[in-house]
Chain A
């Protein structure tokens, strides 16, 4: 069993959660900027995209077969930023709705916490397996 591979899904998910937090933080930061349009991405779709590319190349990121190849930082952006549909329009053209953004931030942070716990319990399982015969 490859430990890194078994954690790869969690790694991708936690990475996307962190990036989504960044996008949502930008929305909240620009809540008073005229003509700013709130953005977000679909987590499920991004995860699906990452998984399908995974099957194609079996790892994330570009193959590095020569010393003259550039190193890449993983497979690039997996998500597609989209503009949020607004419920109520503002006079200054801003589409940030604070209640929506706050709810999404809370949800995202909780999901992130769940992922950290899942990764922890995966390690816990390995530790139990290693110390199984030692009482």
Chain B
């Protein structure tokens, strides 16, 4: 039954959106981390979505998956602070290239998309329940 595919499609989108929210949380938490695990300043992470068919030969329905997580190529924020132990010889400290405003809009967008997918799932569920009620009146 094709309505069951809707659950797969919407849940794949919800998984993808929650991964996006995860990177937003990571970026915002590390917005000021001047040293990350590799010794360099933290770099902003972004998810790349990709449409994938939920089953072979079914062109009608395509779910979403996160193809890769890329590190943003934006330049790092240089702050003049000679007292900081991480400062270079000119006295500048490299801060992460996290754009806080961008991350906040990303967060709102991810949460709205998540909500919409939940609603689509609920619609499919009520359609299926209606089907089960046929002939019961």
Contact = CB atoms under 8 A, between A and B. Distances in A.
A53 to B, nearest CB: 19
Nearest to A27: B62
Q: Determine chain A's interface SS by DSSP, over half rule.
A: helix
B45 to A, nearest CB: 16
Interface residues of B, number: 39
Contact of B133 (A23, A26, A29, A120): A120
A47 interface: no
Interface in B1-26: 1-3, 5-6, 9-10, 12-13, 16-17, 20
Given A22-B61, A36-B51, A29 B9 contact: yes
Contacts of A105: 120, 123
Interface stretch (A58-66, A83-91, A111-119): A111-119
Given A21-B123, A22-B5, A105-B123, A30 B51 contact: yes
A26 B63 contact: yes
Interface string A3-24: 0000000000011001101111
Interface string B102-134: 000000011001001100100110110011011
Given A22-B9, A22-B60, A28 B3 contact: no
A28 B51 contact: no
A29 B63 contact: yes
Contact of A81 (B17, B48, B60): B60
B61 A120 contact: no
Contacts, number: 101
B39 interface: no
A81 B62 CA distance: 13
A100 interface: no
Contacts of B124: 21, 25
B60 A23 contact: yes
Contact of A21 (B16, B62, B127): B127
B127 A33 contact: no
A28 B134 contact: no
Given A23-B61, A30-B51, A116-B131, 13 more contacts: A19-B60, A21-B6, A21-B127, A22-B5, A22-B60, A25-B120, A28-B117, A29-B10, A29-B12, A32-B49, A32-B109, A33-B64, A109-B126
